[in-house]
Amino acid sequence: MNKPYFPPQPDAPPPLRTVVERVVRFEEVDALGIVWHGRYPSYFEDARVALGERYGIGYHDFYGHQVLAPIRKLHADYHQPLEFGERFFIEGALHYSEAARINIEFVLRNGSEAVVTTGYTVQMMMDSNHNLLLTPPPFYLDFLARWRLGDLT
């Protein structure tokens, strides 16, 4: 990837990262034997869920605080295909933002570590009545403070 989807912000802590390993299943390929382009958002989801569980900001955490975090934007760049039975890795990198949004960048690599797909998602935060939050809720502000202090690994 030549240009980052989320440019570094001054004084922001480094992104939080996780990697998920997968194998391409038969149901995920098209008639050409390569992963159908519409499957990549679910691969992004695998890394997004792993990040949330690892750092205590998963879907259940948001739900428990009556906060919704729907996808507002999803983007994917396809560099080369994945094939049935191929092992691959999905890296998710959560980028720091003090806004009421979640910015995650994704890099998929095949077993040879070549980049096959990159992309990102942006999630906005809403209350349980679907009102857009202009500032992060208290539990997420606590998470940001721990991140800034370096308490998250």
pLDDT at 153: 74
Looking at the domain assignment, is residue 10 inside a domain? no
> How many whole angstroms separate alpha carbon 104 and alpha carbon 110?
20
Looking at the domain assignment, is residue 143 inside a domain? yes
Q: Which two tokens mark 85?
A: 């039975």
HSE value, Cβ hemisphere, 13 Å, CA-based, for 116? 22
Other CB atoms within 10 A of residue 130 CB = 8
> How many whole angstroms separate alpha carbon 118 and alpha carbon 75?
8
If one compares 124 and 9, the residue with the highest pLDDT of the two is: 124
Looking at the domain assignment, is residue 66 inside a domain? yes
Looking at the domain assignment, is residue 43 inside a domain? yes
Looking at the domain assignment, is residue 6 inside a domain? no
Q: Which two tokens mark 21?
A: 């390993």
Looking at the domain assignment, is residue 9 inside a domain? no
Residue 110 belongs to domain with CATH number = 3.10.129.10
DSSP 81-131: --BTT-EEEEEEEEEP-SSSEEEEEEEEEETT--EEEEEEEEEE-EETT-P
Looking at the domain assignment, is residue 4 inside a domain? no
pLDDT at 71: 96
Looking at the domain assignment, is residue 1 inside a domain? no
- Is residue 68 within 8 Å of 59, Cβ to Cβ? no
Number of domains in the chain: 1
Is residue 78 predicted with pLDDT exceeding 90?
A: yes
Q: Which domain holds residue 71?
A: 16-149
pLDDT in tens, 7-64: 988 999 999 999 999 999 999 999 999 999 999 999 999 999 999 999 999 999 999 9
Contact partners, residue 30, CB within 8 Å, separation at least 6: 36
> How many whole angstroms separate alpha carbon 149 and alpha carbon 84?
43
Contact partners, residue 40, CB within 8 Å, separation at least 6: 76, 78, 108, 117, 119
pLDDT at 8: 87
pLDDT in tens, 90-120: 999 999 999 999 999 999 999 999 999 999 9
Band of residue 2 on the pLDDT scale cut at 50, 70, 90: low
Tell me what the mean pLDDT of segment 57-75 comes to.
Answer: 96
